[in-house]
Amino acid sequence: MTQICEGVYFIQGRDEMIPDSHVYIIGKSESKDLSMVDAGLVGKGGYKIAYLKKLGIDIKDIKRIIMTHTHMDHIGCLGEILKQMPWSELWVHTHEAVQLEDGDERTVYGMEMFRNMCQAQYNLKPGAFKFQVHKKLNGDERLEIGGMIWEVIHIPGHSAGSIALYERADNILIPGDVVYADYAIGRFDLHGADPAKLHESLFRLAELEVDVLLPGHNRIMNQVPEGYIRATAEQWGPYLA
């Protein structure tokens, strides 16, 4: 786990057969109003909480968990984490929040094959991913949390309710699985995915000034070259038409 800058911590995912998403903790420590962005794969909550404690972060200060989206590799250990932080609220884009509250797990698993595989691998029962959502995000919010301002941007395409969090003062972007380092983008074949919308979402992100890119997987970028997201969007254009 490393501090990216004041108000942003990074906990690296520990992939196994299925990836484990990175987790980011956002908010200035003196505010005592921290947010966790994403949770991770089933069984991957323990080491993250242990890291936080080791760093001297009081988990009582983590007031909410904001999901970039609700795929298995991001929400798998949410239940484990909420057990240790039951005071924490859950904030999710409305397109996936309604499904979570209904216990509709199609987005969580993405496709039937993964549902069968994950349920067998992790001994998950149907309904394992039913959660109460405390705040349904629309994608036009300006969140004043933790002594910082994070803009919520709805970027559908990888999933229906994917969001990015953007901190304009320092040009920090947390795009979930929509865009990664190395000109990679999220897959667009799972439940709720839409290649054309993903293309639009990439161009939407390309309008932002981004110096620090903190994606859901793989390496993070501390010095994003100018035009990086636009170049990525253009490169993928033929596949997203």
| Binding residues for Zn ion (CB under 5 A) | 21, 71, 73, 177, 216
For the bound state, the minimum distance from the C-beta of residue 114 to Zn ion, rounded and expressed in Å, comes to 11
Whichever of 7 and 40 has its CB closer to Zn ion, that residue is: 40
Spatial strand order of the sheet with 163-167 comes to 142-145, 148-154, 163-167, 172-174, 212-213
Residues 41 and 17: their CA atoms lie apart, in Å, by 11
Enumerate long-range contacts of 149-154, CB under 8 Å, 24 or more apart. 150/26, 153/204, 153/205, 154/93
Whichever of 175 and 216 has its CB closer to Zn ion, that residue is: 216
For the bound state, the minimum distance from the C-beta of residue 196 to Zn ion, rounded and expressed in Å, comes to 18
| CA dihedral sign of residues 76, 44, 35, 59 | positive
Q: Is 6 exposed, middle or buried (0-12, 13-18, 19+ CB in 10 A)?
A: exposed
Whichever of 45 and 216 has its CB closer to Zn ion, that residue is: 216
Residue 36's beta-bridge partner residues?
25, 65
For the bound state, the minimum distance from the C-beta of residue 168 to Zn ion, rounded and expressed in Å, comes to 25
Whichever of 73 and 80 has its CB closer to Zn ion, that residue is: 73
For the bound state, the minimum distance from the C-beta of residue 240 to Zn ion, rounded and expressed in Å, comes to 16
For the bound state, the minimum distance from the C-beta of residue 207 to Zn ion, rounded and expressed in Å, comes to 22
Whichever of 63 and 197 has its CB closer to Zn ion, that residue is: 197
3-state secondary structure of 53: helix
Whichever of 7 and 216 has its CB closer to Zn ion, that residue is: 216
For the bound state, the minimum distance from the C-beta of residue 145 to Zn ion, rounded and expressed in Å, comes to 23
Whichever of 39 and 148 has its CB closer to Zn ion, that residue is: 39
Asked if 27 and 145 count as a contact pair (C-beta separation under 8 A), the reply is yes
C-alpha distances in angstroms, 129 versus 76, 82, 103, 113, 215? 8, 12, 6, 17, 23
* Of the candidates 232, 6, 221, 18, the residue with the CA atom closest to the CA atom of residue 108: 18
Query: Quick one: CA torsion of 202, 203, 207, 213, rounded to 10 degrees?
Result: 20
* Of the candidates 186, 233, 183, the residue with the CA atom closest to the CA atom of residue 205: 233
